[in-house]
Structure 1
Amino acid sequence: MQSKDPLHGITLKVIVEKLVNYYGFDTLGELIPIKCFTVNPSVKSTLTFLRKTDWARQKVEELYIKSIPKFS
């Protein structure tokens, strides 16, 4: 049976990479105003921050779920 969770089987790295490829760091910083998107942004620093910061990770995951239709 397939999971109904849209994040099932998707790593945080894939989520961040897809969002960065689609929106870019500038737009991500406007949508979710966190330093890792606005000050010297990189996928690596973003992942480090999100793995330690539950509220920020939740916002990024919510944006990813809302954005899934745009990725196709």
Structure 2
Amino acid sequence: MNKEQPNNPLHGVKLADILEHLVDFYGWEVLGERIRIRCFNDNPSIKSSLVFLRKTPWAREKVENLYLKTPK
């Protein structure tokens, strides 16, 4: 059941860790400018953003793509 995914750079990385890294690197204001979704611009929090991103595949994809482009 535990298959390796050598071509998936996000394998083993939790969405919460991705979001925390982006917030630490960019801050909420810049993150909200780069990805225009309400949970980043109006009273942002990690918890509310995670709820939204787990329900919204297109927004999660944008966040994951930005994470892949962001220096670690």
Match of 2:66 among 57, 63, 68: 63
TM-score by length of 1: 0.90
Structure 1 unmatched ranges of 5 or more: none
Between structures 1 and 2, the one with greater helix share: 1
- Identity, % of aligned positions: 57
| Residue identity opposite 1:14 in structure 2 | D
| Residue identity opposite 1:56 in structure 2 | A
TM-score by length of 2: 0.90
| Cross-structure match for 1:54 | 57
Structure 2 unmatched ranges of 5 or more: none
| Cross-structure match for 2:21 | 18
Structure-1 separation of matches of 2:7 and 2:56: 25
Structure-2 separation of matches of 1:53 and 1:14: 18
Aligned residues: 69
Q: How does 1:6-45 map to 2 (within 5 A)?
A: 6-45=9-48
Q: Aligned Cα RMSD in Å?
A: 1.2
